[in-house]
Amino acid sequence: MSWSTKTMGKFTLSYRPFTLEMRHVFTVASFSRTTTPVVLIQLTFDGITGYGEASMPPYLGETQESVIAFLNKVDLSLFDSPFQTEEILSYIDAIALKNTAAKAAIDIALHDLLGKLMGQPFFKIWGLNPNNIPPTSYTIGIDTKEMIHKKVKEAEAFKILKVKLGLDTDKMIIDTIRSVTDVPLCADVNQGWKNKEEALEMTHWLAEKNVVFLEQPMPKEQIDDMAWLTERSPIPTIADEGCQRYNDILSLQGAYSGINIKLMKCTGMREAKKMAELARALNMKVMLGCMTETSCAISAAAQLAPLVDWADLDGALLIGNDIFDGMHVKNGMCVLPDRPGIGIIAKQ
């Protein structure tokens, strides 16, 4: 599909919808899918273009149509320079409630543009050392024994695997993986457990299976049950659906051991960095996650990765039609290209 373009003073914004095709059917506790809708954007200033992306998995409640409607409300003619970053992104955030993926697309493109104007990758602009990036996990969705075997074999280069749980097949999935590999695991339940006593029993069983942390084990509304579970769990608990943005973090202290930051939830790189710094100040663990995304949004998130305890940046590896070259994974480790901005090159 062709690009739609609008000029706003010194800025030009272009966008087009795109559909990501999954390498395997992707199943979590609440749904399965084979594609993910995204909207790709380009933000140009003074002949330099930054790339951005909005990815819309079902639970965010955004669509390609809602993202495009949001982008059509944006008027950057109010600003003379992309270096008015705080003002621009505060303006973008105030246009409408929610629409966090649409806002993230603008934020990512703006950071890419700024880095290109400065001639530096953003991890260098932020003074971060890419050698401090933890190994990224690779996600194994809920599946049959045969497909789990296949997926684990495909992921043999990874030093940690992320396992989707939350149905009555949880123990089968873990045991199947353990019949193939003994690498550390992290488990993402996607709010699938409802009973705190049963959840606690599972945390002890998972700890014995070398599961190093547990992501969103219970519904985000059951905050008291989560606090009860976190206090007793032998492994850390991480808020994902329960932690969307910066202002959520203070209320989660004590209820979870840490938070999972995703650009599509929190409106992009600017807020993600602030969230990581606040969580650290509160002595909470920090995980950096992703949706199913191209290497555009993945490479943007990776600029922050030296700040976190755990990285889950495999989104572009789960699709078969990535149209960017950017951060890549070598032997389970994230390798950031030394290119300006977020470090990507468009393949088409």
The one-character DSSP state at 85 is H
pLDDT at 320: 95
Show the tokens assigned to 224.
């008291």
Query: From CA 121, how far away is CA 119, in angstroms rounded?
Result: 7
pLDDT at 142: 87
Model pLDDT, residue 219: 97
Task: Identify the DSSP state of 240.
Answer: S
In the chain, where does DSSP find H-type helix?
64-71, 85-94, 100-118, 122-125, 145-154, 170-178, 196-208, 223-232, 249-252, 263-266, 269-281, 295-302
Question: Residue ranges per domain, the chain?
Answer: 4-119, 124-346
Question: What pLDDT shows up at residue 29?
Answer: 56
pLDDT tens over the chain, length 348 residues: 689 999 999 999 999 999 999 987 776 655 677 899 999 999 999 999 999 999 997 778 899 999 999 999 999 999 999 999 999 999 999 999 999 999 999 999 999 999 999 999 999 999 999 999 999 999 998 889 999 999 999 899 999 999 999 999 999 999 999 999 999 999 999 999 999 999 999 999 999 999 999 999 999 999 999 999 999 999 999 999 999 999 999 999 999 999 999 999 999 999 999 999 999 999 999 999 999 999 999 999 999 999 999 999 999 998 999 999 999 999 999 999 999 999 999 987
Question: What architecture does CATH give domain 124-346?
Answer: Alpha-Beta Barrel (3.20)
Q: Note the pLDDT of residue 126.
A: 98
Instruction: Give the per-residue pLDDT at 33.
Output: 74
Q: Measure the CA–CA gap between 296 and 322, rounded to whole angstroms.
A: 9
What pLDDT does 28 receive?
A: 65
pTM for the full predicted model: 0.95
Number of Cβ within a 10 Å radius of residue 336: 22
In Å, how far are 145, 161, 203, 254 from 193, measured between CA atoms? Answer: 21, 20, 11, 19
CATH superfamily of 4-119: Enolase-like, N-terminal domain (3.30.390.10)
Given the DSSP bridges, would you call strands 345-346 and 324-325 parallel, antiparallel or unpaired? antiparallel
| Contact assessment for residue 160 and residue 333, using Cβ atoms and an 8 Å cutoff | no
